[in-house]
Amino acid sequence: MRNYRVYVMAGLLLLMVGSAVAQEDYAKVETSPAFMYIRTPIGGQSFNCAGGGGTFAYNVTSLVGLAADMGGCHIFGNTLGLANTVSGNQFTFLFGPRLTFRSSSKIQPFVEVNLGGDHLSISCENAAVCGNASRGFTAFAMTAGGGLDLKLNKKFALRLVQAEYMYTRFGNECALAICSQNNSQNSFRLKSGVVIGWGEGSR
Tens-digit pLDDT profile for residues 67-78: 999 999 998 865
Tell me, what amino acid is at 69?
A: D
Asked whether 80 and 45 are in contact (CB, 8 A), the reply is yes
103 against 164, higher pLDDT: 164
Dihedrals phi, psi of 125, to nearest 5 degrees: -110, 5
Where are the chain's structural domains?
24-202
- Three-state DSSP at 17 gives helix
Q: Which of 7-11, 15-19, 52-56, 179-183 has the highest mean pLDDT?
A: 52-56
Q: Which ranges of 67-189 does DSSP label H, i.e. alpha helix?
A: 127-130
Asked whether 153 and 127 are in contact (CB, 8 A), the reply is no
22 CB-contact burial (10 Å; exposed 0-12 / middle 13-18 / buried 19+): exposed
Tens-digit pLDDT profile for residues 19-58: 434 445 789 999 999 999 999 887 667 788 999 999 999 9
Alpha-carbon radius of gyration of the chain:
23
Give the CATH architecture of domain 24-202.
Beta Barrel (2.40)
